[in-house]
């Protein structure tokens, strides 16, 4: 076959948006499948920290799209309760106690947090005979005491799960440090990372919160509160992990710093104009007169 009629080879990978279209998935379904490790991604060849989907991975998944869609199906509280055949109030208590873990959330039109759960996990929880006492009958006294004290582990459990999602996409220690820093407030980060150049470099790898509302809006503030660790023990282990990971990152590749500036040269005294010899000046005057 001549060069003019050769069939162009496909790129070894494609962008996530194209991969989602080829698989017939909504982008939200595709992203969740990536987070759950159901779809393998690799660093984009162009650099810039983006991800791509290998063509070989698309080939593996093209015949299993329906199964993939079943793995990433999410439900809210009402549908989750119906799936587990319990009242919605009981399901909410199970979620607040951390017995079922949300996988996503969004804010509704009233800026109320709507937690979403993997249907597959709820089915597995319901099928486990060891959980039967949690689905029917009176809630154990110890659990009722925790609920009465205001325990609600939904946000914390989501943070732990989302951190796992982020870490699975990391390729070096700086990216892992950025993932950990995503759940700490700036004051906590400043205490751990005192060097301003390191903080700037770390911020490049710090994922932003899920997009909800314009920056600075009430919705954005609420999301920031959900994303930021609040319990002292959670903050303590995040700080310890970040401190350890930063040591690995510094050994792997120090944060860039501006080139040292050369010392300014002292201003030089301009040379004094040289005077013509006195005899030459007299000769020039005589010729001009």
Q: How far apart are CA 95 and CA 102, in angstroms?
A: 8
Q: How far apart are CA 180 and CA 192, in angstroms?
A: 12
Q: How far apart are CA 59 and CA 88, in angstroms?
A: 41
Going by pLDDT thresholds of 50, 70 and 90, the confidence category of residue 132 is very high
Going by pLDDT thresholds of 50, 70 and 90, the confidence category of residue 269 is low
- 3-class SS at 108? coil
Q: Does 281 have pLDDT greater than 70?
A: no
pLDDT given at position 49: 63
pLDDT given at position 112: 93
Residue 126 CB burial class (10 angstroms; 0-12, 13-18, ≥19): middle
- What's 253's DSSP letter? S
Q: Which tokens belong to 24?
A: 């017939």
What rounded mean pLDDT belongs to the chain?
88
Q: Does 166 have pLDDT greater than 90?
A: yes
**Higher-confidence residue: 171 or 154?**
154
Q: Which tokens belong to 161?
A: 């799960």
Q: Does 10 have pLDDT greater than 90?
A: no
User: What value does the mean pLDDT take over residues 158-176?
Assistant: 94
**Higher-confidence residue: 229 or 12?**
229
Q: Does 201 have pLDDT greater than 80?
A: yes
Who contacts 15 (Cβ-Cβ below 8 Å, separation ≥6)? 44, 50, 52, 53
Q: Which tokens belong to 240?
A: 């310890």
Strands (DSSP E) contained in 108-208 are 113-118
C-alpha dihedral over 86, 87, 89, 90, to 10 degrees?
-20
Going by pLDDT thresholds of 50, 70 and 90, the confidence category of residue 54 is very high
For 5, half-sphere exposure in the C-beta direction (CA atoms, 13 angstrom radius) is: 2
Comparing C-alpha atoms, which of 74, 68, 72, 54 is closest to residue 23? 68
Q: What φ, ψ does residue 262 adopt, rounded to 5°?
A: -75, 145
Domain residue limits, the chain:
12-71, 74-152, 156-252
Comparing C-alpha atoms, which of 66, 45, 54, 46 is closest to residue 18? 54
CATH number for domain 12-71, candidates 3.20.10.10, 1.10.1660.10, 3.40.50.740, 3.40.50.300: 1.10.1660.10
Q: Does 3 have pLDDT greater than 60?
A: no
pLDDT given at position 43: 86
**Out of 87-101, 199-213, 224-238, least confident range:** 199-213
By DSSP bridging, strand 74-75 and strand 51-54 are unpaired
Who contacts 112 (Cβ-Cβ below 8 Å, separation ≥6)? none
Tell me the torsion sign for CA atoms 251, 257, 259, 264.
negative
Residue 136 vs residues 10, 90, 101: alpha-carbon distances, Å:
55, 9, 19
**Higher-confidence residue: 7 or 243?**
243
pLDDT given at position 171: 87
Going by pLDDT thresholds of 50, 70 and 90, the confidence category of residue 8 is very low
User: What value does the mean pLDDT take over residues 102-112?
Assistant: 93
């Amino acid at each position: 076959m001549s060069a003019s009629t050769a069939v162009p080879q496909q790129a070894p990978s494609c962008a996530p948006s194209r991969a989602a279209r080829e698989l017939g998935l909504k982008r939200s379904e595709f992203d969740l499948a990536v987070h759950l490790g159901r779809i393998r991604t690799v660093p984009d060849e162009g650099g810039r920290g983006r991800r791509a989907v290998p063509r070989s991975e698309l080939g593996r998944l093209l015949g299993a799209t329906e199964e993939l869609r079943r793995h990433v199906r999410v439900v809210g509280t009402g549908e989750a309760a119906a799936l587990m055949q319990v009242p919605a109030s009981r399901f909410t208590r199970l979620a607040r106690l951390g017995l079922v873990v949300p996988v996503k959330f969004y804010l509704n039109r009233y800026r109320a947090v709507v937690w979403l759960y993997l249907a597959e996990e709820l089915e597995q929880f319901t099928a486990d005979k060891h959980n039967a006492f949690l689905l029917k009958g009176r809630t154990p006294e110890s659990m009722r005491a925790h609920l009465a004290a205001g325990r609600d582990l939904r946000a914390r459990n989501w943070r732990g799960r989302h951190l796992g999602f982020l870490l699975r996409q990391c390729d070096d220690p700086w990216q892992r440090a950025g993932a950990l820093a995503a759940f700490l407030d700036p004051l906590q980060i400043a205490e751990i990372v005192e060097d301003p150049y390191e903080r700037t470099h770390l911020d490049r790898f710090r994922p932003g919160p899920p997009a909800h509302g314009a920056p600075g809006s009430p919705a954005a503030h609420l999301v920031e509160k959900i994303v930021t660790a609040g319990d002292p023990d959670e903050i303590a282990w995040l700080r310890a992990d970040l401190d350890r990971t930063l040591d690995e990152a510094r050994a792997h590749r120090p944060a860039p710093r501006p080139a040292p500036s050369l010392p300014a040269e002292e201003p030089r005294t301009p040379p004094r104009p040289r005077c013509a010899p006195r005899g030459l000046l007299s000769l020039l005057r005589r010729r001009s007169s």
